[in-house]
Protein backbone atom coordinates (compact mmCIF):
# COMPACT_ATOMS: atom_id res chain seq x y z
CA UNK A 1 0.00 0.00 0.00
CA UNK A 2 1.26 3.45 -0.89
CA UNK A 3 1.54 6.29 1.62
CA UNK A 4 -0.91 8.33 -0.46
CA UNK A 5 -3.61 5.69 0.12
CA UNK A 6 -3.15 6.01 3.89
CA UNK A 7 -3.38 9.80 3.55
CA UNK A 8 -6.54 9.55 1.44
CA UNK A 9 -8.26 7.45 4.12
CA UNK A 10 -7.19 9.77 6.94
CA UNK A 11 -8.37 12.83 5.01
CA UNK A 12 -11.71 11.17 4.34
CA UNK A 13 -12.20 11.19 8.14
CA UNK A 14 -10.42 14.49 8.87
CA UNK A 15 -10.41 16.58 5.65
CA UNK A 16 -7.72 19.22 5.31
CA UNK A 17 -10.37 21.89 4.75
CA UNK A 18 -11.39 21.53 8.41
CA UNK A 19 -8.09 23.16 9.40
CA UNK A 20 -7.87 26.78 10.49
CA UNK A 21 -6.58 29.38 8.02
CA UNK A 22 -3.29 29.88 9.89
CA UNK A 23 -2.50 26.17 9.89
CA UNK A 24 -0.37 23.85 7.78
CA UNK A 25 -1.87 20.37 8.13
CA UNK A 26 -1.05 17.51 5.80
CA UNK A 27 2.25 16.56 4.17
CA UNK A 28 5.22 18.50 5.53
CA UNK A 29 7.80 16.81 3.32
CA UNK A 30 8.41 13.50 1.56
CA UNK A 31 7.20 11.33 -1.31
CA UNK A 32 3.67 9.96 -0.93
CA UNK A 33 4.18 7.52 -3.83
CA UNK A 34 6.37 5.23 -1.67
CA UNK A 35 5.07 1.98 -0.22
CA UNK A 36 4.31 2.25 3.53
CA UNK A 37 6.66 0.25 5.72
CA UNK A 38 5.28 1.43 9.07
CA UNK A 39 3.82 4.51 10.79
CA UNK A 40 5.12 6.36 13.85
CA UNK A 41 2.64 8.67 15.63
CA UNK A 42 3.83 11.53 17.80
CA UNK A 43 2.76 14.84 19.32
CA UNK A 44 5.69 16.94 18.09
CA UNK A 45 8.24 15.98 15.46
CA UNK A 46 11.80 15.84 16.77
CA UNK A 47 15.08 14.20 15.82
CA UNK A 48 14.42 11.70 18.61
CA UNK A 49 11.09 10.72 17.03
CA UNK A 50 12.72 10.36 13.59
CA UNK A 51 15.41 8.09 15.14
CA UNK A 52 12.67 6.01 16.71
CA UNK A 53 10.89 5.80 13.34
CA UNK A 54 14.13 4.63 11.68
CA UNK A 55 14.70 1.98 14.36
CA UNK A 56 11.17 0.62 13.89
CA UNK A 57 11.30 0.73 10.08
CA UNK A 58 8.58 3.40 9.76
CA UNK A 59 8.71 5.59 6.67
CA UNK A 60 5.75 7.77 7.66
CA UNK A 61 5.63 9.94 10.78
CA UNK A 62 2.31 11.52 11.75
CA UNK A 63 2.45 14.31 14.30
CA UNK A 64 -0.20 16.51 15.83
CA UNK A 65 1.73 19.79 15.53
CA UNK A 66 3.08 20.59 12.04
CA UNK A 67 6.86 20.95 11.96
CA UNK A 68 6.58 23.62 9.25
CA UNK A 69 4.27 26.16 10.85
CA UNK A 70 4.13 29.96 10.74
CA UNK A 71 7.86 29.97 10.08
CA UNK A 72 8.00 31.90 6.81
CA UNK A 73 10.34 29.09 5.83
CA UNK A 74 12.53 29.98 2.85
CA UNK A 75 15.34 27.43 3.11
CA UNK A 76 15.93 24.14 4.88
CA UNK A 77 19.35 23.48 6.41
CA UNK A 78 20.19 21.31 9.42
CA UNK A 79 21.12 24.38 11.44
CA UNK A 80 17.91 24.73 13.45
CA UNK A 81 15.24 22.43 14.94
CA UNK A 82 12.94 22.45 11.88
CA UNK A 83 15.80 22.01 9.40
CA UNK A 84 17.36 19.17 11.37
CA UNK A 85 14.10 17.22 11.52
CA UNK A 86 13.16 17.79 7.86
CA UNK A 87 16.68 16.96 6.57
CA UNK A 88 16.91 13.82 8.67
CA UNK A 89 13.47 12.66 7.49
CA UNK A 90 14.28 13.24 3.82
CA UNK A 91 17.71 11.59 4.09
CA UNK A 92 15.99 8.51 5.48
CA UNK A 93 13.12 8.58 2.95
CA UNK A 94 10.54 9.28 5.66
CA UNK A 95 7.40 11.26 4.91
CA UNK A 96 6.24 13.74 7.57
CA UNK A 97 2.52 14.38 7.89
CA UNK A 98 0.50 16.42 10.43
CA UNK A 99 -3.07 16.28 11.71
CA UNK A 100 -3.48 19.50 13.65
CA UNK A 101 -6.56 21.76 13.63
CA UNK A 102 -8.34 19.49 11.13
CA UNK A 103 -8.14 16.91 13.94
CA UNK A 104 -8.91 19.39 16.76
CA UNK A 105 -11.95 20.81 15.00
CA UNK A 106 -13.32 17.62 13.56
CA UNK A 107 -16.37 15.55 14.22
CA UNK A 108 -15.05 12.91 16.67
CA UNK A 109 -11.75 14.80 16.83
CA UNK A 110 -9.53 15.91 19.70
CA UNK A 111 -11.93 18.30 21.40
CA UNK A 112 -14.76 15.79 21.32
CA UNK A 113 -12.53 13.27 23.08
CA UNK A 114 -11.51 15.96 25.59
CA UNK A 115 -15.21 16.63 26.36
CA UNK A 116 -15.96 12.91 26.56
CA UNK A 117 -13.18 12.41 29.12
CA UNK A 118 -15.12 14.81 31.38
CA UNK A 119 -18.43 13.07 30.66
CA UNK A 120 -19.90 16.17 29.01
CA UNK A 121 -23.25 15.78 27.27
CA UNK A 122 -25.18 17.75 24.62
CA UNK A 123 -21.98 18.92 22.95
CA UNK A 124 -21.87 22.12 20.88
CA UNK A 125 -18.92 23.60 19.00
CA UNK A 126 -17.25 26.46 20.91
CA UNK A 127 -15.97 28.32 17.82
CA UNK A 128 -17.87 27.06 14.74
CA UNK A 129 -15.92 27.34 11.51
CA UNK A 130 -16.94 30.30 9.36
CA UNK A 131 -17.00 30.86 5.59
CA UNK A 132 -16.87 27.18 4.90
CA UNK A 133 -19.81 26.59 2.59
CA UNK A 134 -21.00 27.58 -0.85
CA UNK A 135 -24.32 26.70 -2.48
CA UNK A 136 -24.61 25.41 -6.02
CA UNK A 137 -27.90 25.99 -7.82
CA UNK A 138 -28.03 24.25 -11.18
CA UNK A 139 -30.75 23.86 -13.79
CA UNK A 140 -30.75 20.44 -15.46
CA UNK A 141 -33.15 18.50 -17.73
CA UNK A 142 -35.24 16.24 -15.51
CA UNK A 143 -34.06 13.15 -17.37
CA UNK A 144 -30.43 13.89 -16.47
CA UNK A 145 -30.97 15.14 -12.92
CA UNK A 146 -30.33 11.90 -11.00
CA UNK A 147 -27.02 11.26 -12.77
CA UNK A 148 -25.81 14.83 -12.19
CA UNK A 149 -26.93 14.79 -8.56
CA UNK A 150 -25.10 11.53 -7.86
CA UNK A 151 -21.95 12.84 -9.55
CA UNK A 152 -22.04 15.98 -7.37
CA UNK A 153 -22.50 13.85 -4.25
CA UNK A 154 -19.53 11.71 -5.30
CA UNK A 155 -17.47 14.92 -5.59
CA UNK A 156 -18.25 15.78 -1.96
CA UNK A 157 -21.29 18.07 -2.31
CA UNK A 158 -24.41 17.63 -0.18
CA UNK A 159 -22.86 16.88 3.22
CA UNK A 160 -24.42 18.32 6.37
CA UNK A 161 -22.87 17.04 9.61
CA UNK A 162 -23.53 13.33 9.74
CA UNK A 163 -25.86 13.43 6.71
CA UNK A 164 -24.75 12.87 3.14
CA UNK A 165 -26.60 13.26 -0.17
CA UNK A 166 -28.51 16.35 1.04
CA UNK A 167 -30.17 18.29 -1.78
CA UNK A 168 -33.33 20.15 -2.66
CA UNK A 169 -35.02 20.23 -6.04
CA UNK A 170 -37.96 21.95 -7.66
CA UNK A 171 -39.57 21.30 -11.04
CA UNK A 172 -39.69 24.06 -13.61
CA UNK A 173 -39.34 24.96 -17.22
CA UNK A 174 -36.18 26.24 -18.84
CA UNK A 175 -36.04 28.09 -22.16
CA UNK A 176 -33.24 28.90 -24.60
CA UNK A 177 -32.65 29.88 -28.21
CA UNK A 178 -29.51 28.30 -29.72
CA UNK A 179 -27.88 30.70 -32.21
CA UNK A 180 -25.35 30.21 -35.03
CA UNK A 181 -22.36 28.16 -33.87
CA UNK A 182 -24.17 26.51 -30.94
CA UNK A 183 -24.25 22.74 -30.60
CA UNK A 184 -27.32 22.17 -28.40
CA UNK A 185 -27.84 18.85 -26.61
CA UNK A 186 -31.59 19.42 -26.97
CA UNK A 187 -33.30 21.33 -29.82
CA UNK A 188 -31.91 22.94 -32.96
CA UNK A 189 -30.19 26.18 -33.92
CA UNK A 190 -32.66 28.98 -34.60
CA UNK A 191 -35.60 27.44 -32.73
CA UNK A 192 -36.56 28.50 -29.24
CA UNK A 193 -36.74 25.47 -26.97
CA UNK A 194 -38.59 24.83 -23.72
CA UNK A 195 -37.42 21.93 -21.55
CA UNK A 196 -38.77 20.39 -18.34
CA UNK A 197 -35.91 21.07 -15.96
CA UNK A 198 -35.06 20.57 -12.33
CA UNK A 199 -33.60 23.32 -10.18
CA UNK A 200 -31.15 21.42 -8.00
CA UNK A 201 -29.59 22.97 -4.89
CA UNK A 202 -26.67 21.50 -2.95
CA UNK A 203 -24.14 22.94 -0.54
CA UNK A 204 -20.46 22.08 -0.59
CA UNK A 205 -17.30 23.09 1.30
CA UNK A 206 -15.56 26.03 -0.35
CA UNK A 207 -12.36 23.98 -0.62
CA UNK A 208 -14.14 21.64 -3.04
CA UNK A 209 -15.40 24.37 -5.39
CA UNK A 210 -13.05 23.56 -8.28
CA UNK A 211 -13.88 19.86 -8.10
CA UNK A 212 -17.63 20.52 -7.87
CA UNK A 213 -17.64 22.88 -10.87
CA UNK A 214 -15.52 20.47 -12.93
CA UNK A 215 -17.95 17.67 -12.03
CA UNK A 216 -20.89 19.84 -13.05
CA UNK A 217 -19.38 20.51 -16.49
CA UNK A 218 -18.40 16.86 -16.95
CA UNK A 219 -21.86 15.46 -16.12
CA UNK A 220 -24.33 18.13 -17.25
CA UNK A 221 -25.66 17.41 -20.76
CA UNK A 222 -25.83 21.06 -21.90
CA UNK A 223 -23.11 22.87 -23.85
CA UNK A 224 -23.68 25.88 -21.55
CA UNK A 225 -25.03 24.69 -18.18
CA UNK A 226 -26.80 27.45 -16.23
CA UNK A 227 -25.74 27.55 -12.59
CA UNK A 228 -25.18 29.89 -9.65
CA UNK A 229 -22.66 29.63 -6.84
CA UNK A 230 -23.64 31.55 -3.74
CA UNK A 231 -21.51 32.51 -0.78
CA UNK A 232 -23.21 31.46 2.47
CA UNK A 233 -23.05 33.09 5.87
CA UNK A 234 -23.82 29.75 7.58
CA UNK A 235 -21.49 28.70 10.37
CA UNK A 236 -20.49 25.08 10.56
CA UNK A 237 -22.10 23.89 13.77
CA UNK A 238 -20.37 20.51 13.58
CA UNK A 239 -16.79 21.56 12.90
CA UNK A 240 -14.67 24.08 14.77
CA UNK A 241 -12.36 24.46 17.72
CA UNK A 242 -13.46 23.61 21.27
CA UNK A 243 -16.64 22.05 22.62
CA UNK A 244 -19.20 23.09 25.21
CA UNK A 245 -21.31 20.56 27.09
CA UNK A 246 -23.02 19.86 30.39
CA UNK A 247 -22.10 17.59 33.28
CA UNK A 248 -24.82 15.06 34.16
CA UNK A 249 -24.90 16.55 37.71
CA UNK A 250 -23.60 19.96 38.88
CA UNK A 251 -20.41 19.91 41.00
CA UNK A 252 -18.77 22.31 43.42
CA UNK A 253 -15.80 24.04 41.78
CA UNK A 254 -13.09 22.26 43.79
CA UNK A 255 -14.83 18.93 43.33
CA UNK A 256 -14.93 19.49 39.56
CA UNK A 257 -11.28 20.56 39.40
CA UNK A 258 -10.22 17.40 41.29
CA UNK A 259 -12.38 15.34 38.94
CA UNK A 260 -10.81 17.02 35.87
CA UNK A 261 -7.29 16.40 37.26
CA UNK A 262 -8.07 12.72 37.62
CA UNK A 263 -9.82 12.30 34.27
CA UNK A 264 -7.13 14.17 32.33
CA UNK A 265 -4.18 12.87 34.34
CA UNK A 266 -3.04 16.37 35.36
CA UNK A 267 -0.40 17.43 37.86
CA UNK A 268 -1.84 20.87 38.32
CA UNK A 269 -4.63 23.23 37.19
CA UNK A 270 -4.17 26.99 37.32
CA UNK A 271 -7.49 28.83 37.59
CA UNK A 272 -9.23 32.03 38.54
CA UNK A 273 -12.80 33.17 39.09
CA UNK A 274 -15.35 33.00 41.91
CA UNK A 275 -18.69 32.53 40.24
CA UNK A 276 -20.70 31.68 43.38
CA UNK A 277 -22.53 28.75 41.79
CA UNK A 278 -21.91 25.10 41.00
CA UNK A 279 -20.24 23.95 37.78
CA UNK A 280 -22.46 22.32 35.18
CA UNK A 281 -21.82 23.88 31.78
CA UNK A 282 -18.21 23.28 30.76
CA UNK A 283 -16.26 24.64 27.78
CA UNK A 284 -13.04 22.94 26.66
CA UNK A 285 -10.43 23.60 24.02
CA UNK A 286 -7.32 21.44 23.78
CA UNK A 287 -3.98 23.17 23.15
CA UNK A 288 -3.75 26.96 23.30
CA UNK A 289 -7.33 28.30 23.43
CA UNK A 290 -6.83 31.66 25.17
CA UNK A 291 -8.50 33.52 22.30
CA UNK A 292 -11.82 31.75 22.94
CA UNK A 293 -12.42 32.91 26.53
CA UNK A 294 -15.11 35.35 25.34
CA UNK A 295 -16.77 32.67 23.19
CA UNK A 296 -17.02 30.36 26.21
CA UNK A 297 -18.46 33.20 28.26
CA UNK A 298 -21.00 34.00 25.52
CA UNK A 299 -22.17 30.38 25.64
CA UNK A 300 -22.81 30.74 29.39
CA UNK A 301 -20.18 28.23 30.42
CA UNK A 302 -19.48 27.98 34.15
CA UNK A 303 -15.84 27.08 33.49
CA UNK A 304 -13.47 27.10 30.50
CA UNK A 305 -10.60 24.63 30.43
CA UNK A 306 -7.80 25.18 27.94
CA UNK A 307 -4.03 25.83 27.76
CA UNK A 308 -1.69 28.80 27.27
CA UNK A 309 -3.83 31.29 29.22
CA UNK A 310 -2.09 34.64 29.68
CA UNK A 311 -2.41 36.72 32.87
CA UNK A 312 -5.04 39.16 31.59
CA UNK A 313 -7.14 36.40 29.97
CA UNK A 314 -8.05 35.11 33.44
CA UNK A 315 -9.92 38.32 34.20
CA UNK A 316 -11.97 38.75 31.00
CA UNK A 317 -15.08 37.04 32.48
CA UNK A 318 -15.13 39.27 35.61
CA UNK A 319 -16.14 36.36 37.83
CA UNK A 320 -18.98 35.25 35.57
CA UNK A 321 -16.99 32.16 34.50
CA UNK A 322 -13.96 30.30 35.87
CA UNK A 323 -10.94 30.23 33.56
CA UNK A 324 -8.67 27.22 34.04
CA UNK A 325 -5.32 26.49 32.41
CA UNK A 326 -4.59 22.78 32.29
CA UNK A 327 -1.53 23.11 29.98
CA UNK A 328 -1.18 22.93 26.21
CA UNK A 329 0.24 19.38 26.00
CA UNK A 330 -2.16 18.03 28.62
CA UNK A 331 -5.26 19.05 26.68
CA UNK A 332 -4.19 17.36 23.47
CA UNK A 333 -1.74 14.57 24.12
CA UNK A 334 -4.52 11.98 23.83
CA UNK A 335 -4.92 12.96 20.15
CA UNK A 336 -2.16 10.45 19.42
CA UNK A 337 -4.57 7.71 20.53
CA UNK A 338 -7.25 8.88 18.07
CA UNK A 339 -4.76 8.74 15.17
CA UNK A 340 -3.39 5.36 16.31
CA UNK A 341 -6.86 3.84 16.70
CA UNK A 342 -8.00 5.22 13.37
CA UNK A 343 -5.00 3.73 11.56
CA UNK A 344 -5.33 0.37 13.30
CA UNK A 345 -9.03 0.24 12.54
CA UNK A 346 -8.43 0.67 8.81
CA UNK A 347 -5.04 -0.86 8.09
CA UNK A 348 -3.75 -4.22 9.22
CA UNK A 349 -0.98 -4.80 6.70
CA UNK A 350 1.74 -2.69 8.35
CA UNK A 351 2.76 -1.81 11.90
CA UNK A 352 2.02 1.48 13.61
CA UNK A 353 3.38 2.80 16.89
CA UNK A 354 2.90 5.70 19.27
CA UNK A 355 6.29 7.26 20.00
CA UNK A 356 7.50 5.81 23.31
CA UNK A 357 9.89 8.50 24.45
CA UNK A 358 7.70 11.50 24.02
CA UNK A 359 6.52 13.19 27.21
CA UNK A 360 6.02 16.70 28.48
CA UNK A 361 9.42 18.40 28.67
CA UNK A 362 8.15 21.09 31.07
CA UNK A 363 8.40 20.60 34.84
CA UNK A 364 7.05 22.20 38.02
CA UNK A 365 8.62 22.14 41.47
Task: Compute the distance between CA of residue 83 and CA of residue 194 in angstroms, rounded to an integer.
Answer: 64
Distance in Å, CB of 330 to Zn ion, minimum: 11
CB-based burial, 275-291: b 16+ in 10 Å, e otherwise: eeeebbbbbbbbbbbbe
Judged by DSSP in three states, 138 sits in strand
Beta bridge partners of 304: 283, 323
CB of 69 to Zn ion, least distance (A): 10
Rank residues 65 and 219 by Cβ distance to Zn ion and give the closer one. 65
Tell me whether residue 30 or residue 331 sits nearer to Zn ion (CB atom): 331
Supply the minimum distance, in Å, between the C-beta of residue 44 and Zn ion: 9
Nearer to Zn ion, 273 or 289 (CB): 289
* Alpha helices, H only, 189-230: 209-219
Least CB distance to Zn ion at residue 307 (A): 8
> In the bound complex, what is the minimum distance in angstroms from residue 332's beta carbon to Zn ion?
5
Closest CA relative to residue 114, chosen from 278, 279, 299, 307: 307
Within 8 A by CB and 6+ apart from 188, the residues are 178
Q: Which is nearer to Zn ion, 47 or 308 (CB)?
A: 308
Rounded-to-integer distance, Cα 33 and Cα 266, Å: 41
Supply the minimum distance, in Å, between the C-beta of residue 286 and Zn ion: 7
- Which string of b and e fits 255-266 if b means at least 16 CB within 10 Å? ebbeebeeebee
The smaller minimum CB distance to Zn ion, of residues 202 and 335, is found at 335
Instruction: Closer to Zn ion by CB, 63 or 215: give it.
Output: 63
Q: Are 109 and 339 in contact (CB under 8 A)?
A: no
Give 114 or 153: the residue with its C-beta nearer to Zn ion: 114
- Minimum distance, C-beta of residue 61 to Zn ion, in the bound complex (Å): 17
Based on CB atoms, which residue is closest to Zn ion, 6 or 285? Answer: 285
**Nearest distance in Å: CB 362, Zn ion:** 13
Contact criterion met (CB below 8 Å) for 104 and 43: no
Please identify, using beta-carbon distances, which residue of 23 and 295 lies nearer to Zn ion.
23
Give the residue from 267, 301, 296, 101 showing the smallest Cα distance to 309: 296
- 3-class DSSP state of 238: strand
Strands 60-63 and 95-98 turn out to be parallel
Please report, as ranges, the residues that interact with Zn ion according to CB under 5 A: 287
For residue 289, give the nearest of 41, 110, 120, 26 by alpha carbon.
110
Rounded to a whole number of angstroms, the minimum distance from the CB of residue 43 to Zn ion is 8
What number of residues does the chain have? 365
State which residue has the least CB distance to Zn ion: 287
Helix/strand/coil for 223: coil
Question: Strand 193-205 and strand 133-141: pairing?
Answer: antiparallel
Amino acid sequence: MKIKEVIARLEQRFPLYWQEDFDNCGIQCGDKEREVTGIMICFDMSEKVIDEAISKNCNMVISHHPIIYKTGLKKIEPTNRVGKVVCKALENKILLYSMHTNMDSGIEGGNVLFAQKLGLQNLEVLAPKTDMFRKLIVFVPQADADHLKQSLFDAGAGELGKYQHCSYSTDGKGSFLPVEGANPAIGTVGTEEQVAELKLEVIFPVALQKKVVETLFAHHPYEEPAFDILKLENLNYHVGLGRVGTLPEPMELTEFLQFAKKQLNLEVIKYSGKIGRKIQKVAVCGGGGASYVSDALAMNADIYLTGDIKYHDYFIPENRMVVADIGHFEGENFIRDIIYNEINKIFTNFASYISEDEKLEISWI
